Amino acid sequence: MQPTMNNAPPPTPSGSRRGNLMIAAVATVIVLAFIAIGIYAWQSLGASALTTQGYIALVLGVIATAGLGVGLMVLVFYSNRYGYDERVGGGDEPPERR
């Protein structure tokens, strides 16, 4: 059943905001831990330093990978929002705008 003005869902309790903040804090700690482990592992390798070209390639690779991931997720959300996912099942009707 689609929510309308008469039967709108109740507002979310303030506890969910606190839960979201806690999830974000835990995720941040995990990411920082992975970064620290990566830096430690990199430095423990010793004499395997990258050249300037290596660092440039590394940064460009990370940027390209993140850009590809973001672009694909944008396409997934766009496709879902405008009904292109439903048309894959074989229907010839254009999607309805929501």
Give the span between the Cα atoms of 86 and 93, in whole angstroms: 10
pLDDT at 8: 62
Tens of pLDDT along 52-90? Answer: 998 899 999 999 999 999 999 999 999 888 877 777 665
Tens of pLDDT along 2-37? Answer: 555 566 666 555 568 888 899 999 999 999 999 999
Percent of the chain topping pLDDT 70: 70
CA distances from 13 to 6, 10, 31, 46, 63 (A): 20, 9, 28, 52, 38
pLDDT at 2: 55
pLDDT at 67: 96
* Domain boundaries, given as residue ranges, for the chain: 16-46, 50-89+94-98
**pTM as predicted:** 0.46
